[in-house]
A and B are shown apart, each in its own frame.
Chain A
Amino acid sequence: MNDFREGPRKVEIAFTVNGEPRKVCAYPMERLLDVLRLELGLTGAKEGCGEGECGSCSVLMNGGLVNSCLVPVLQAADSEIVTIEGLADGETLHVLQQAFLEYGGAQCGICTPGMILAAAHLLQRNHEPTIEEIREGLSGNLCRCTGYSQIVEAVAEAARRGLEQHHDETGATA
């Protein structure tokens, strides 16, 4: 676990986090999760298992969904990172956050940040996922409270609202 300090010395690593350029001084093999939580104070990403199984540390890196407990921070150099803290627009919740709230997608809340980012990743690639596709798409993120149904319903609703919004916007520009 502490191997990273027996390797190369600390280096300066620059990346973009939630739209803002950030620089950290870190051991190259430190976990991105620790850098986000401890150096940058972004504690929305959680450690559930430390081995990439539970997905509660999920963040978006260059648009892809990663388990930040498995990513050495060096690998994140020059990347664009989005964490749960970057999803809402000020006090206006992201459509997924709002749907999770309304549909009971969050119970204890510990898997919620990772789950919402996994759902955002899914909806980026697939605007109209079927229930099966949602269940498959979220299967890398474990939730012990909900039994997933209300999460799946929240994501389906967010997809519907997202499409509506998209149609409204394209309708408005047309």
Chain B
Amino acid sequence: MNPDRVVGKSVPRKEGRDKVTGRSQYVDDMVLPDMIFGATVRSQIPRGRIKKITFGPGVAWDEFVVVSAKDIPGKNCIALIGEDQPCLASDFVNHPEEPILLLAHPDRHILPKAVAAVSIEYDPLPAIFTMEESERRSQIIWGEDNIFKTFLIEKGDLAGVFENADFIVEGEYSTGAQEQLYIENNGMIAAFDAAQGITVWGSLQCPYYIHKALMALCNLPAEKVRVVQMETGGAFGGKEEYPSMIAAHATLLAIKAGRPVKIIYDRLEDMVATTKRHPSRTRHRTAVSRDGKILGGEIDFTIDGGAYATLSSVVLSRGIIHAAGPYYWPSVRIRAKAVATSAPPHGAFRGFGAPQSLFAMERHMDRIAQAVGLSPVEIRRRNFLQPGQQTTTQQVIREPIDLVKLLDRGLEASGYHAKKNTFAKQNQLGMHKKGMGIAAFLHGAGFTGSGERYLSSVVGVEGCADGSVRVLVSSTEFGQGTKTVLSQIAAEALGLPYDSVSMAQPDTLEVPNSGPTVASRTVMVVGKLVQSAALGIAQTLISSGLLRTGYSADEFRVASQKHVAQHGQFRCWSRYEPPTGIFWDDQAYRGEAYAAFAWAVYIAEVTVDLTTYSVSVDDFVALQEVGKVLHPLLARGQIIGGIAQGIGFSLYEKVVWQNGRMQNGQMTNYIMPTSSDLPPIRVLFEELGNVHGAYGAKGIGELPMDGPAPAILNAVEDALGVGFDSVPLLPEDIMENPDKRGLAESAGATSTERSR
């Protein structure tokens, strides 16, 4: 490699120094003159008509700014894909914790008492709390049939496939809701000025989503709405959409108060009121030949969207496209549906539907292996997609991916075969049962299908007056390293040192709409645009005669300075252009679903303690092909962090629901893994490259969320000889399984015998 190259090196994180010194400014660290504090009065019932609102005694209500739906200048909705979710409920509430009223006061400590003093009388309406109830339509709570969206993927001809199969393997798998649990709770500050309009500063992923929502809410033109991202303390999808709601609330209060308003959620409010991962249920029915080849199958994928449509249709889309895993299906019919329940809307969380459907697929592969009498390794080997074959959407795999090789490398790194043999012997005795589990999977990078075409992202690169370079994007940093990697790409494109590139703060007044920071698209899609805009700067300088080809960094600086002196502001823009030869049919759900897929094989080693029924992950090997790795340290950090969340999803994190409301909305009773709960996670990369991404990069952020749950539950089955098909898998689930109790007793009996 060229020693001067910037990509591929673990350069210092752009904002790292501020983060380790505590200087970074998150929204709650920001104070504006004259600022007051806002709070939200929420529904305490799942569904009903609002009858009467009473402001109770003991509160000096004249000191408060109170906002209801009547105060909304524009449309009472949070504009996203659809417009069904109100900003404030006016007549009806459709889920617990739905916002109804807003209060603001100069003293933030008075607010909880004031919120509690508002009493709301309702005429309750029947509510529904499970996907099955929603499907039965005993009550219609959304639209005409409780269905937000359906998709159908069909490939090949299923006629006769089941009749001619040697085996028909069926299974049903489910996943629970999961809280993103970023450590920084949601928060937003809004200020209003009649001349300038609205400005909001906040913890957020997608400045232009908020921009769109506030324009509709306040009936204001684009230039009168400004959204600024503060340093954001984790997001994971959880700050994709709900920040639009909080920004809307802060804005309404700020307009009415005539003063800046800050809303900061506490942990309980953040957990019970904001979005979570969609609970899911997947049914598989698969026709398999005697030699273990998948002949065809039916997959039925259903997700619980909660009370409003929000992002459910897109989550469903990614879920259905990933539902068949990295395997070749000659024929398949996949039906997917997102249904309404009377819970707060579920939303984006790293993986976005894929962890749900891939959990089912990879558990089901082990079930197929058992039915056919093959090992989990061999069943996968025989069914892996190969270059030239078509996915379920009939996308031809053009990448030279060799999944068998990936699997073999993973098996070797984990010591799979030797350990499996050892454990099989050891497990005959004692109360600690050990097992190995595999998950093979893929994750599409960027928006699905024609999504990137619709987004039509724009990025800018600026040659500054001091000769440095600045990248202008709305793509946000919230831990992944956006600022660092996009700076690397610009520096690499211009042949400049990393330090000569800086990033503009995401501020809609300043930066173009480079799309939302979601869908593992930032490095691959936005990065490619940064590369091309940066090249535009160099080409402009060269064609204007200010710079020679083969320039040095000093020459660039001087030329850029001259350009600014002669012509003023010096910026180049680059807009997304869809790759040629890419075809996607939104009606038939057929074609090139993603410009590139990342591929992975994860292997988990677990111990199940039959005294406590707890499962511990002892070793975890994560091997992935993510294109070229542009920053090895950050890439490894993304993978390990995603796996940690995946381990939480598998074994720790259970949302306890009652009447549509989360009952355990605290860190003391919703348990995420601590440093002493997690194993060493071994991260390995294959690097094939990718023609669609900046310097060969693919998406990386979501991939690691997909594999841990199936790998771990497959390992649990390997350890116990009894399988579980739902996550999270908690000790009580193992204890309550009748087969398991028998096993524990026999193991106990054995060890008692031995001690005698």
Return the CB mask of B620-662 against A: 1 if under 8 Å, else 0. 0000000000000110110011111100000000000000000
Contact of B236 among A4, A45, A144, A149 (CB under 8 A): A144
Complex alpha-carbon distance, A95 and B19, angstroms: 15
- Answer whether residue A138 sits at the interface, using C-beta atoms and an 8 A cutoff: yes
Return the CB mask of A30-55 against B: 1 if under 8 Å, else 0. 00000001000011111111110110
Q: Which of B109-117, B506-514, B549-557, B713-721 contacts A (4 or more CB under 8 A)?
A: B109-117
Write out the residue numbers on chain A whose beta carbons fall within 8 Å of the beta carbon of B681.
Answer: 147, 149
Q: Considering the complex, give the chain B residue whose CB is closest to the CB of A134.
A: B675
CB pair B112–A48 under 8 Å, yes or no, is no
- Answer whether residue B182 sits at the interface, using C-beta atoms and an 8 A cutoff: yes
Tell me the residues in window 165-205 of chain B with beta carbons closer than 8 Å to chain A beta carbons.
180-185
* B contacts with A: majority SS: loop
- Answer whether residue A81 sits at the interface, using C-beta atoms and an 8 A cutoff: no
- Answer whether residue B233 sits at the interface, using C-beta atoms and an 8 A cutoff: yes
- Answer whether residue B22 sits at the interface, using C-beta atoms and an 8 A cutoff: yes
CB pair B182–A106 under 8 Å, yes or no, is no
- Answer whether residue A68 sits at the interface, using C-beta atoms and an 8 A cutoff: no
Complex alpha-carbon distance, A142 and B644, angstroms: 12
Q: Which of B10-18, B286-294, B726-734 contacts A (4 or more CB under 8 A)?
A: B10-18
CB pair B22–A139 under 8 Å, yes or no, is no
Q: Considering the complex, give the chain A residue whose CB is closest to the CB of B20.
A: A97
Write out the residue numbers on chain B whose beta carbons fall within 8 Å of the beta carbon of A16.
Answer: none
CB pair A84–B184 under 8 Å, yes or no, is no
Q: Which of B24-32, B133-141, B361-369, B467-475 contacts A (4 or more CB under 8 A)?
A: B24-32
Q: Considering the complex, give the chain B residue whose CB is closest to the CB of A53.
A: B667
Write out the residue numbers on chain A whose beta carbons fall within 8 Å of the beta carbon of B236.
Answer: 144
Looking at B21, B109, B182, B480, the one whose CB has the most chain A CB atoms below 10 A away is B21
- Answer whether residue B674 sits at the interface, using C-beta atoms and an 8 A cutoff: yes
- Answer whether residue A169 sits at the interface, using C-beta atoms and an 8 A cutoff: no
Interface size on B, residues (CB 8 A): 60
Q: How many A-B residue pairs have CB under 8 A?
A: 176
Return the CB mask of A92-123 against B: 1 if under 8 Å, else 0. 01000110111111111111110010000000
Complex alpha-carbon distance, A146 and B635, angstroms: 11
Contact of A147 among B21, B232, B640 (CB under 8 A): B640
Give min CB distance, B198 to chain A, whole Å.
Answer: 25
Looking at A47, A54, A144, A150, the one whose CB has the most chain B CB atoms below 10 A away is A144
Tell me the residues in window 660-692 of chain B with beta carbons closer than 8 Å to chain A beta carbons.
666-668, 672, 674-678, 680-681
CB pair B674–A106 under 8 Å, yes or no, is no
- Answer whether residue B745 sits at the interface, using C-beta atoms and an 8 A cutoff: no
- Answer whether residue B478 sits at the interface, using C-beta atoms and an 8 A cutoff: yes
Tell me the residues in window 1-29 of chain A with beta carbons closer than 8 Å to chain B beta carbons.
1-2, 4-5
Give min CB distance, B675 to chain A, whole Å.
Answer: 4
- Answer whether residue A65 sits at the interface, using C-beta atoms and an 8 A cutoff: no
Contact of A51 among B112, B233, B668 (CB under 8 A): B668
CB pair B641–A107 under 8 Å, yes or no, is yes
- Whether A48 touches B666, Cβ cut-off 8 Å, given contacts A2-B113, A104-B636, A139-B676, is no
Write out the residue numbers on chain A whose beta carbons fall within 8 Å of the beta carbon of B641.
Answer: 107, 144-147
Write out the residue numbers on chain B whose beta carbons fall within 8 Å of the beta carbon of A37.
Answer: 29
Write out the residue numbers on chain A whose beta carbons fall within 8 Å of the beta carbon of B266.
Answer: 47, 50
Complex alpha-carbon distance, A151 and B266, angstroms: 26
Contact of B634 among A43, A49, A104, A152 (CB under 8 A): A104
Which residues does B use to contact A, with CB under 8 Å? 10, 12-13, 15-26, 28-29, 109-110, 112-113, 180-185, 231-236, 266-267, 478-481, 633-634, 636-637, 640-645, 666-668, 672, 674-678, 680-681
A102-B12, A104-B637 given; 15 more Cβ-contact pairs under 8 Å: A42-B22, A46-B233, A53-B668, A54-B183, A93-B21, A101-B12, A101-B17, A104-B636, A111-B233, A141-B675, A145-B637, A146-B641, A147-B678, A148-B640, A148-B644
Q: Give 11 CB contacts A-B under 8 Å.
A: A45-B22, A51-B667, A56-B183, A97-B21, A109-B15, A109-B479, A143-B675, A144-B234, A145-B641, A146-B637, A147-B678
